[in-house]
Chains A and B, each alone.
Chain A
Amino acid sequence: MSSELAPRAGLAEGPVGLGGQLAVVGSTPSRKLPPAGAGPLHEARAVWVVLKRECIRFASDPLRVIVGLLQPVMFLFVLGSGLGTLVKFGSHLSLRTFLYPGAAAMSVLFTALFSAGSIVWDREFGFLREMLVAPVSRTSLVVGKCIGGALVSSVQGVLMICISGLAGVPYNPALMFTVLAELLLLALTITAFGLVVAARIRQFQSFMAVTNMLVMPLFFLSGAMYPLSGLPTWLKVLTRVDPLTYAVDPIRRAVFEHLSSLPPALTKRLVPGVTWDGWHVPLGLELTVVAVMAFGFVVVAAIEFRQTD
């Protein structure tokens, strides 16, 4: 029986394992449980069940999907079409196509934050306690929550990809895959960031207030709404500091690579890429910046939840 479980950590176990305990006390067959899991496989089960719960909760609330989509769709089609009358690119390119990467990022942003915020909710309604007293590491709980939040948010991303045609973005499998992967990475980072914030907050309302306060500047400074070149110095510096910049730019690069018959000069003007003091940051490094941040936030969140005890 125990062979299909995790290898028992020999160091941590005393002469009498837990399995022995369980069996000794039991008087009926039902109580003779084999050794309870410990070690990597047990932790993996914890990660899995936490993310599974995230998915169940998400699936049982279809309204959330729609509400989550509302803001980016408004941004893309209302703002995009409205401002589009002011902005003419002198080509068949529409402003909506330019704004699309930002809208996609936005859709993931809200859902991921909401997912992370549900931990504040869980705290208020007691369920967090059920998780915190369990014999699993807090890191597993945080990792499960992050992956769960990222997966759930990428559902939002999939929907955004589905409507990308309306924004003049071609349905190209390679492009769709790239965008989804980049959104997933972003969602992971944002969920982890949300958990870092959520660990310190006791009320869901406060969480929403704090995240809203952070999201707007992050979004406006990310280059989601304007090209990253030719900006005033102060704004240029701020955009380079904003982590979201490094997630939006790769998506925009991918989208513009798949647009046919655009004058190269226009592409260069609209998608100049991120520069650090004149140095052109390559795509790989941009994604690395996002991934490193995701990792960093997960570590900080895990440390925070380890102390919540």
Chain B
Amino acid sequence: MPGDTVQRVACLGVAAPLGLAGVDGAGSAAVDVRGLEKHFGDVKAVKGVDFQVASGETFGFLGPNGAGKSTTIGMLCTLVRPTRGSATVGGYDVVRRREEVRRSIGLVFQDPTLDSYLTAEQNLRFHAELYGVPRSLVRQRLGAVLELVGLADKAKTEVKNFSGGMKRRLEIARGLLHAPVVLFLDEPTVGLDPQTRRSIWDYIKSLKASEGTTIFMTTHYMDEAEYCDRIAIIDKGQIVAMGTPTELKASVGKDRVQISTGNDAGAIRALKEHFGLEAAVHEGNVTFSVAEGGEFVPKLFSKFAEVGIPVLSVGVSRPSLDDVFMSYTGTTIRDAEAGGGPSEWMRLRATRGMRR
């Protein structure tokens, strides 16, 4: 069962006065979502989600394609009108204060939105004008964001000569150009090779350090969710679990510890006696499960030294986010996608009858 550190569905402030939410930008949370729902005809893409993202936090939305991630991000970016509920971004209501919300956010979409016939710099300048970055600051910001994503030497290159990873980096740079309160990254690494994905993450981490931007991202890569400060697992339009990666993993199960000792029988007895743990020998090692295995090992060492049991080697394996997803949704993310039908955006487009 999930631990109590993890917020289960609907335990967030449902009772908050909806009318007051962020009319004047006074809220402290960068993103504040309450009871948000979106229906497309009979299809309920998002069935009431609640969460807050603190300023400076990296918040991840994890779930299979079609879980409601893109629709939620669309509502927060004022591109999709919520059916019910409310949300504020940077303190502004996403329905009533669209202009302000748009000026407060940076957006990096799943699909590229660059003009490939313009140079990197021309793309950024275009953005600076549309977002009203003061003229006197354009040059400085331009240099800063290009530097951040490692494209400073490519400023004068036409984007059509860029690789997929470079384009994505340029889009991230562009999303940051107007110093948004929240940067939205919708599947920032989808369709990129593993090496490029890693480098994109290095850039995201460094921008977090240098710009202090709040990042809201969606992903269906388990390993990437690990980079987030906090994750919400979304499945079938609902948040099924929310917490830090560590909390989530801790909620799922204990770490597995394997030790090889000079005295297995003695070790098993000592574990039972001093820590109340049931251990057994598997594959030649004494194996047992314990919460926070990394923190447990030093305690184990000092106790074993006391009772005189030599420890030759130790291995701790933690549950992965795959295990977390599995435990909350009863399926692995890959299985969920395999049966998922058309992706959300496809559905969005089909429902709206137009592509943006």
Contacts and interface: CB of A to CB of B under 8 A. Distances in A.
A128 B356 contact: yes
A22 interface: yes
Contacts of B354: 202, 308
Interface in A114-149: 122-123, 125-136
A113 B211 CA distance: 43
B64 to A, nearest CB: 24
A16 B92 CA distance: 10
B158 to A, nearest CB: 8
A126 B214 contact: no
A16 B129 contact: no
A46 B129 contact: yes
Nearest to B25: A16
Contacts of A20: 25
B140 interface: yes
B25 A127 contact: no
Contacts of A132: 356
A57 B356 contact: no
A33 B55 contact: no
Contacts of A30: 140-141, 144, 179, 211
A270 interface: no
B114 interface: yes
A131 B134 CA distance: 18
B267 to A, nearest CB: 49
Given A12-B99, A14-B24, A127 B115 contact: yes
A309 interface: yes
Contact of A57 (B97, B117, B130, B178): B117
B117 A60 contact: yes
B355 interface: yes
B114 A127 contact: yes
Contacts, number: 148
A26 B179 contact: yes
Contact of A126 (B56, B114, B127, B129): B114
A38 B133 CA distance: 10
Given A12-B99, A49-B126, A132-B356, A21 B181 contact: yes
A38 B113 contact: no
B45 interface: no
B130 to A, nearest CB: 4
Interface in A44-74: 45-46, 48-49, 53, 56-57, 60-61
A303 B90 CA distance: 29
Nearest to B143: A30
Interface stretch (B103-111, B228-236, B300-308): B103-111
A289 interface: no
A135 B103 contact: yes
Given A25-B212, A33-B133, A37-B134, 20 more contacts: A1-B136, A4-B134, A12-B99, A12-B100, A13-B100, A15-B24, A15-B26, A21-B90, A21-B91, A25-B30, A26-B179, A26-B211, A33-B134, A33-B179, A38-B132, A45-B130, A46-B129, A126-B109, A126-B112, A131-B130
8 contacts: A14-B97, A28-B210, A38-B132, A122-B115, A125-B116, A126-B111, A127-B115, A132-B356
Interface of B: 23-26, 30, 55-56, 77-79, 90-92, 97, 99-100, 102-104, 107, 109, 111-118, 122, 125-127, 129-137, 140-141, 144, 178-179, 181, 210-214, 354-356
Which 10 A-B residue pairs are closest in the complex by CB-CB distance?
Answer: A37-B132, A49-B129, A134-B130, A14-B24, A135-B102, A126-B113, A27-B212, A135-B103, A16-B25, A130-B113
